[in-house]
Amino acid sequence: MDAKGAFLNLLNVCNVLKGLFFFSSLSPLTRAGRGRGDVLELGDADFDYLASEHETMLVKFYAPWCGHCKKLAPDFEKAATKLKGTVQLAKVDCTASTEVCTRFGASVYPTLKIFRNGENAGSYDGPRTADGIVHYMKKQAGPNSVYLNTEADLQNFINNFDASIVGFVSGPGTVQMTEFLKAASIMRGQFRFAHTQDYGVGQRYGVNTERVVVFRPPRLSNKFEDSEVHSPSTLSVSGIRRFIRDHIHGLCPHMTMDNKEKLRGHDLLIAYYDLDYRRNPKGSNYWRNRVMKVMSQNSGHGLSCAVANKKDFLSDLEEEFGFGLTDGDTPFVTIKTRLGYKYTMREEFTRDGVSLERFLEDYFAGRLKRYIKSQPIPEKNYTPVKIVVAETFEDIVNNPNKDVLIQFYSPQCQHCKRLQPVYEQLAETVLSDPNIVIAKMDATVNDVPVLYDVQGFPTIYFAPANKKDEPKQYTGPRELKDFLKFMRREGAHKLAVSGVRQEL
């Protein structure tokens, strides 16, 4: 072999060794997992190197022992497969890669963050189902804001099922361009953004200077409001976000599973019916226009409205009202206030809108009776632990003279079953005290008042006498002495117990 051949062989050996060195520098977790599934496994050694290779990436920071992480894992894997080639999904085991997790503030598991070209672009706040992740992350792919060159580009962009936000801004590097692109980066998961430097692109909409324009979806066009809304000439990031929030939905938006939480932040009238804008836009707008006509005649009362496909919300209706809607061609109308109070229109929605007018008139006059999902009131309620249903909550729990400890439970909850002996012992212990009530309510079949945040079972609250608007959640140990110590400290009355040392 000549000198040249020997040199080439040596060069090949060096390249092989270089590859082996790089591979060995990866964390064991990364080497073991990179070839399995479509979720990329990253660690301290390779996070920055590999994350920078992807324009958009969703990273799950997790711990192997975390129950919520285990529950999310199958959906995360399914989403990764569906998003393959569009958005990369990755995961980091925070018990093995503490440096990366600490750097990005991942101390609660699972923590999901979006990265763009290796840079942290913010927390993921979308759904945690496979379809929800796919839908949300598809909106995250590509630029924050699409550039529009021509009027045809603008028409194609705004002729969409969803609302569109367009910035008419001056050249690159200007304050308005910078602020608009920042706002687009922050809100791109919720809305569609585009921009142009040519005011002529928006000439047909009266654009002749810097501004942001909200274009509502063409399918929701109506005679009661403009299809687009113009901002003041210049806005900061916070101003742009506020402008979009205040104008994006219009008088009567189409409520979906994606936007329902945003719409329900205020008093809201909702008409549920066979709404389908993709297959039957004309029929869908038929009832919406009747709702809008009546609502426009009753503006100024702080009540907003929306329309929704009843099939999409059958489970919600079952949970909130105890029934679903499968029959009937006319809308089912309900009002839900910010305080959680619910009212339903019992009369059939007439095509002339008169029944809706009467319903609103009674609502604004305070003549409507609140709808409460409740079990029947118990005929006998003499046990130490008092049974509370939604219809008796006011009389028992909100009795201004009583200190009340109430447990919200589910009959299927194993933790609730394990608590039952201690809870009954507690009730027996304070039974002789006329100022204290130990109670429980099945939260799966009764409406829970808005002041009580019940996210799991059991959830226990204490409502002191004369402070019913300030219930305090109990989060301490679930032993008899701990409950008694808590009630002594928080109660309005001095606690009298039988058979228990007072120092407990």
Helix (H) or strand (E) holding 242: helix 237-247
Is the pLDDT at 241 greater than 60, yes or no? Answer: yes
State residue 359's pLDDT score: 96
State residue 446's pLDDT score: 93
Among candidate residues 441, 439, 438, 440, the one with its CA nearest the CA of residue 497: 438
State residue 374's pLDDT score: 92
Question: Tokens 């008042």 appear where?
Answer: 449
State residue 317's pLDDT score: 87
Q: What is the DSSP letter of 297?
A: T
Is the pLDDT at 32 greater than 50, yes or no? Answer: no
Q: Catalytic one among 69, 94, 101, 305?
A: 69
Question: Tokens 């975390």 appear where?
Answer: 66
Tell me the average pLDDT across 337-355.
Answer: 91
Whichever domain contains 193, its CATH number is 3.40.30.10
Question: Tokens 């810097």 appear where?
Answer: 210
Q: How many domains does the chain have?
A: 4
Is the pLDDT at 354 greater than 70, yes or no? Answer: yes
Categorize the per-residue pLDDT at 499 as very low, low, confident or very high, splitting at 50, 70 and 90: low
Among candidate residues 318, 409, 305, the one with its CA nearest the CA of residue 359: 305
Residues 215 and 304 in one domain: no
State residue 189's pLDDT score: 78
Residues 153 and 227 in one domain: yes
Residue 498 belongs to some domain of the structure: no
User: Under DSSP, is residue 171 helix (H, G, I), strand (E, B) or coil?
Assistant: coil
Tell me the average pLDDT across 137-143.
Answer: 85
Tell me the average pLDDT across 13-19.
Answer: 44
Q: Catalytic one among 14, 66, 94, 101?
A: 66
Residue 431 belongs to some domain of the structure: yes
Residue 43 belongs to some domain of the structure: yes
**Burial (0-12, 13-18, 19+ Cβ within 10 Å), 325:** middle
* Residue 443 · residue 457 · CB < 8 Å: yes
Residues 7 and 126 in one domain: yes
Residues 166 and 47 in one domain: no
Question: Tokens 């890669």 appear where?
Answer: 97
Is the pLDDT at 442 greater than 60, yes or no? Answer: yes
Is the pLDDT at 322 greater than 90, yes or no? Answer: no
Is the pLDDT at 13 greater than 80, yes or no? Answer: no
Is the pLDDT at 24 greater than 70, yes or no? Answer: no
Known catalytic membership, residue 305: no
Residues 270 and 398 in one domain: no
Residue 380 belongs to some domain of the structure: no
Q: What is the DSSP letter of 351?
A: T
Residues 11 and 133 in one domain: yes
Residue 226 belongs to some domain of the structure: yes
State residue 29's pLDDT score: 39
Q: Half-sphere exposure (CA, 13 Å, Cβ side) for 421?
A: 2
Tell me the average pLDDT across 251-269.
Answer: 88
Q: How far apart are CA 459 and CA 15, in angstroms?
A: 62
Q: How far apart are CA 342 and CA 471, in angstroms?
A: 22
Categorize the per-residue pLDDT at 257 as very low, low, confident or very high, splitting at 50, 70 and 90: confident
- Which of 45-49, 324-328, 440-444 bottoms out in mean pLDDT, i.e. has the lowest? 324-328
Residues 174 and 47 in one domain: no
The whole-angstrom distance between residue 451's C-alpha and the CA centroid of its chain comes to: 19
User: Under DSSP, is residue 497 helix (H, G, I), strand (E, B) or coil?
Assistant: coil
State residue 26's pLDDT score: 41
Is the pLDDT at 273 greater than 90, yes or no? Answer: yes
Residues 18 and 130 in one domain: yes
* CA-CA-CA-CA torsion sign (442, 447, 452, 453): positive
Residues 186 and 125 in one domain: no
Among candidate residues 91, 89, 97, the one with its CA nearest the CA of residue 45: 97
pLDDT in tens, 285-312: 999 999 999 999 988 888 999 999 999 9
Residues 221 and 320 in one domain: no
Domain boundary among 95, 115, 140: 140
Among candidate residues 226, 233, 217, the one with its CA nearest the CA of residue 284: 217
Residues 23 and 116 in one domain: yes
Domain boundary among 247, 268, 284: 247
pLDDT in tens, 403-416: 999 999 999 999 99
* CA-CA-CA-CA torsion sign (117, 123, 126, 131): positive
Q: Which residues of 276-300 are buried (b: 16+ CB within 10 A; e: fewer)?
A: ebeeeeeebbebbebbbbbbeebee
Residues 223 and 317 in one domain: no
Residue 495 belongs to some domain of the structure: no
- Which of 50-59, 260-269, 480-489 bottoms out in mean pLDDT, i.e. has the lowest? 260-269
State residue 306's pLDDT score: 96
Q: Catalytic one among 94, 101, 252, 416?
A: 416
Domain boundary among 140, 174, 190: 140
Range of the domain at 428: 385-490
Helix, strand, coil percentages, rounded to 5, for the chain? 35, 20, 45
Pick left, alpha or beta for residue 388 (phi over 0 → left; psi -120 to 50 → alpha; otherwise beta): beta
Is the pLDDT at 99 greater than 50, yes or no? Answer: yes
Q: What is the mean pLDDT of the chain?
A: 88
Residue 184 belongs to some domain of the structure: yes
Question: Whole-prediction pTM value?
Answer: 0.66
Residue 194 belongs to some domain of the structure: yes
Known catalytic membership, residue 14: no
